[in-house]
Structure 1
Amino acid sequence: MSTNILAITFKSLHKPHHPLIPTNIYDARSAKTVAAIPSSAALATASHAIAEASGVNDDDLTLLINLRTTRIIASAIKPSGKPLTVDLQDGYGAHLEHAIGELLSLDNVVGINLEDFNRDTSDFFPPAEAADRVRRVLLLRGTAGFPISW
């Protein structure tokens, strides 16, 4: 299944008054196990769990570790045809575009969790900056061939 079709499928799982609750996964084994469950419609990485499985604290989870683990997870669930959304923490500061580019290249990755808490400053991003970060992600998504709005 193409990633674009999978993204549309993922969006269709979001229904008013019936929240989508994706199952959190953190490695290939948890991903394959959860993907095999018929009632599990979508999967989500969890940065805290990925960090712990990698032997670091959530605040110390690097982009490199997060992307490496996400690549393994995406590969493990590809045969399932189930959508994956990724906990990208705060986008890793100046590396946001690089991180999004890497995720857009992975099969099954159709969404991200982009936190509005800046790990570098230990404060929330100002609203205008938070909105700009979302716009940058949407622009990259559009450039990669995903529809900007559906």
Structure 2
Amino acid sequence: MVELGKNISEDSRWLIDFVRRAGAGVIASNSGTGYPESAYVHVAVNDTGRIILGTNALSRKFTNITSDPRVSMVIVNDGAQEVQLEGEAAVLDDTQVAAAAEVLSTQHPGATETNDPENLRLLEVTVRWASHTDTREVPPAQRELEF
């Protein structure tokens, strides 16, 4: 996804709204063993279209992403609409954490509260490709989003 800034496309705005309504999804990362590793995660999205999620620095997903930032995600809304996306995840540094934590906490109150605050890490996914499927239509409608 191109840095969205102020001039974001209609599909980008649609994706932001979709992720906010869904609030969760499955993220898959490269385990390095030849097998993908998937995890169900709560997600939020900022106004530029970056997807934000929290994880523990001791988790497999964190280890995988710090070794290979390429991820894929599936986000489902209402059991009838699905977005599949690919992108790159980045661990946010100290200068970025506060803004991302505010976005995540606003969309998921308590999401940044943890029993292990020293190992809480926030990640940001930059979307490079996305596809939307709507099974409410017959046959199901599928389209690639344009950014």
TM-score, shorter chain, exceeding 0.5? no
TM-score by length of 2: 0.27
Whose relative contact order is higher, 1 or 2, with alpha carbons under 8 Å and at least 6 apart?
2
